[in-house]
Structure 1
Amino acid sequence: MTDPRRPVLSAAERAADAVELFSRASARLRQVVPFHSAVWTAADPETGLITAPMLVEDIGSEEDCAAYWESELLEENVLPFRELARATVPAAGLRAATGDLPARSTRFRRLLLGQGVFDELRAVLRIDGRPWGLVSLFRTTDAFRPDEVALLAELSRPLAGRLRGLARPPESTPRTEAPAPGLVFFDESGEATSMNDEARHHLALLPEGPSFPSPLGVKLPIWVIGVAFQARAIADGRDHGSARVRIRTTEGRWLVCHASCLTGPAGKPGPVALVIEPATPADLAVLIADAYALTPRELQITQLLARGMTTAEIAATLVISPHTVRDHLKTVFAKAGVSSRGELVARLFTDHYWPALPAPTPLRRSGRPAARARIPRL
């Protein structure tokens, strides 16, 4: 018997980026698990929040998309992604989970029912305990069968592995100055009320996707709005996670978007303050390690190497033998596709930091040399 996963995984392997992966996988999956509409999105592997890119197929309006994620984070629902990410089986159908009473979920009652949805099949694409993508499939007739749920669950790990590999930043990205952090304020209704010029700059670098107009004349991507929703959910006691997500720009670099709910008069929840800024080395260390499938020990050794330590010094620090250090480094070289320590540090660290180190200042032809350029400390 032909493995029904094979066409989906084969299509995913040919994808050049995450958007193409979602598109190819969705088209193949639809042939074995019929559905009428779908949402495929990347997720931040540390917080599970949605991030770029996102593929929305045959769903009404962008406002419907925003309402869907608002409900996901701020309302009581059956099968929220944060719970599914920790479940033994990372996929489930709404009707099966509610005993054929999907209206028990606010999301279905308030949104999906009016759009003609009969059942929703959700999955978290996860590998090694980390979520790299989220999938929602919708049907207007018939419930999803147990074997269809099982198939999507079996696709979770290999598709997540492919997404993880595609998260590697390109080997060459534009060198630009590091702009200051951007700041956006949202009122209690979730409306953006003010932002600085730096926020506009950062928002202009984000990839295309579902976005929504604001009174400030700037469209806000769903990933940014989702972080603001999460901050409100934490303030309301609905979630105890982190309102933080990393978003890849059109230049291939990473921004970090994080938010918190301020306190108003008499301790009441106030506006949400959202900061969007270049990712720091600490923000990227785990992401890069996961993207190259480094083990915790391999990442530890690589970080010590990046600090300029010798093999003997690394061995002494970690209380292991120099031979073990060399074996780990060989494995890391193979995973990163490099052949020297300098290449490794550049590939996994320096190339992904923003800003780049400044170019050396040339000597003056006459008199004393120009002052040396200062290198920012990482």
Structure 2
Amino acid sequence: MPGSVPREQAERDLVRQCHAGLPLPDLWGRVLRSLRRIVPVDAAFVATADPATLLFTGAHAEEPLAGASARFLENEFSGADVNRFAALATARRHVSTLDLATRGDRVASPRYGEIMRPLGLGDELRAALVAGTECWGYLCLHRADGGRGFTAAELELVARIGPHVAAGIRDATVRAAPRPGPQRPGVLVVSDDLALVASTPEAEALAEVLDGGPGELPLAVQALVAALLAAERGRGPSPLGSTVRTRTGEWVRLSASRLTGPVGGVVSVVLDPSRPASGAVARLAAHALTAREREIAVLVLRGRSTREISAALFLSPHTVQDHLKSVFDKTGVRSRRELVGLLLAGPGG
């Protein structure tokens, strides 16, 4: 129960859990248990995100949220509601509440009127979990309707712990040693209402090591399709895809496109585990590189010389070398060859 231990001690315990090197399922459980010792929560949702695209890559949702994931995704990509996760990820402040964003007028939010109120939910506290400049996940806490909303002190607490939770997600995502998993690309065919229409055996195997059960769509796939549908309706940019870590520690690249022809109203999603550098951008982000340093590291990965990088980025060769030295320092390597080996081999490689 909140208040059963001193708040300062409970917060310290929560932060310690974030830096204990826990795998994601254990991290989620311990963070939510520790958080509930400080903040009353009636339902919670936690998710991982691709730092490059800000799309969901996996999630844990408590009831009654789990059964409404498709409606929450549609709302997230509608572009017409407050506190969307991707907006919080790029905002100056990464946390907010529904009551704060609507000035206490909850019915101004379609998410509240169409999804949350029918589920008996009232105020919600949302946070983009950002470590450095990279968003690694999202947190959403709900209160039952009719009760009090989240306080300013609770909002500040979540703002303080958010970067620590993000670091825990980052470390669990990036450093987990890979185990052998499916190696051939697969295809899922998904309807516009986010239902699975057809799949290849390879895709089914990959979906199961993401977070989907037999016949279920992983959240990463649902989010990518929802983003594509929003783009088709003019509500956002067309998604470039996302990179997801499986439960077996492999990296899978997801891409989606509209199928045309006699079969209408369906989207093809390709799940490709075959490219060894699929997780390179995420691994770079885990070392707290700046945007410019990541650009240079990716070009090194592609075999570009200092002169070629200089021309591509309109930088002097001396500036390129300065950035590259910083990349070496942050990643703990001493040469281009070691950097490429680190990124391509990945954790445990």
Helix, strand or coil at the partner of 2:140: strand
Tell me the number of residue pairs that the alignment of Structure 1 and Structure 2 aligns: 338
Query: CA-to-partner distance for each residue in 1:297-329, whole Å, 9 max, x for gaps?
Result: 655665676678999999999623999589547
Closer, same or farther: CA 264–72 of 1 in aligned 2, 3 Å: farther
Give the match for residue 97 of structure 2. 93
Q: TM-score, normalised by structure 1?
A: 0.75
Closer, same or farther: CA 112–29 of 1 in aligned 2, 3 Å: same
Residue 295 of structure 1: how far off its partner (Å): 4.2
Give the match for residue 170 of structure 2. 164
Select the residue among 120, 125, 128 that pairs with 2:124.
120
Helix, strand or coil at the partner of 2:258: strand
Residue 256 of structure 1: how far off its partner (Å): 1.3
Residue 167 of structure 1: how far off its partner (Å): 2.4
Closer, same or farther: CA 190–315 of 1 in aligned 2, 3 Å: closer
Give the match for residue 221 of structure 1. 218
Q: Identify unmatched segments of 5+ residues in structure 1.
A: 357-378
Closer, same or farther: CA 35–315 of 1 in aligned 2, 3 Å: same
Helix, strand or coil at the partner of 2:174: coil
Closer, same or farther: CA 102–189 of 1 in aligned 2, 3 Å: same
Closer, same or farther: CA 304–151 of 1 in aligned 2, 3 Å: same
Does residue 1:28 correspond to 2:34, yes or no? yes
Which structure is richer in relative contact order (CA contacts within 8 A, separation 6 or more)? Answer: 2
Select the residue among 202, 205, 211 that pairs with 2:209.
205
Residue 124 of structure 1: how far off its partner (Å): 0.5
Give the match for residue 144 of structure 1. 150
Give the match for residue 252 of structure 1. 249
**What amino acid maps onto 2:329 in structure 1?**
T
Task: Give, in whole Å, the separation in 2 of the partners of 1:296 and 1:2.
Answer: 35
**What RMSD over aligned residues (CA atoms) do the two structures have, in Å?**
3.7
Does residue 1:285 correspond to 2:270, yes or no? no
Residue 130 of structure 1: how far off its partner (Å): 2.5
Residue 331 of structure 1: how far off its partner (Å): 1.5
Query: CA-to-partner distance for each residue in 1:49-103, whole Å, 9 max, x for gaps?
Result: 1112x2223x137432333223323473222112222222111111221122212
**What amino acid maps onto 2:268 in structure 1?**
A
Task: Give, in whole Å, the separation in 1 of the partners of 2:124 and 2:139.
Answer: 10
Task: Give, in whole Å, the separation in 2 of the partners of 1:68 and 1:55.
Answer: 14
Q: Is the CA contact (8 Å cut-off) linking 1:168 and 1:292 kept in structure 2?
A: no
Q: Identify unmatched segments of 5+ residues in structure 2.
A: 1-6
**What amino acid maps onto 2:253 in structure 1?**
V
Closer, same or farther: CA 93–313 of 1 in aligned 2, 3 Å: closer
Helix, strand or coil at the partner of 2:236: coil
Task: Give, in whole Å, the separation in 2 of the partners of 1:322 and 1:106.
Answer: 48
Does residue 1:191 correspond to 2:189, yes or no? no
Task: Give, in whole Å, the separation in 2 of the partners of 1:308 and 1:50.
Answer: 31
**What amino acid maps onto 1:56 in structure 2?**
A
**Percent identical across equivalent pairs?**
28
Give the match for residue 365 of structure 1. none
Helix, strand or coil at the partner of 1:220: coil
Task: Give, in whole Å, the separation in 1 of the partners of 2:134 and 2:81.
Answer: 22
Closer, same or farther: CA 83–309 of 1 in aligned 2, 3 Å: closer
Does residue 1:178 correspond to 2:183, yes or no? yes
Does residue 1:78 correspond to 2:82, yes or no? yes
Give the match for residue 361 of structure 1. none
Give the match for residue 368 of structure 1. none
Closer, same or farther: CA 194–116 of 1 in aligned 2, 3 Å: same
Q: TM-score, normalised by structure 2?
A: 0.81
Closer, same or farther: CA 264–233 of 1 in aligned 2, 3 Å: farther
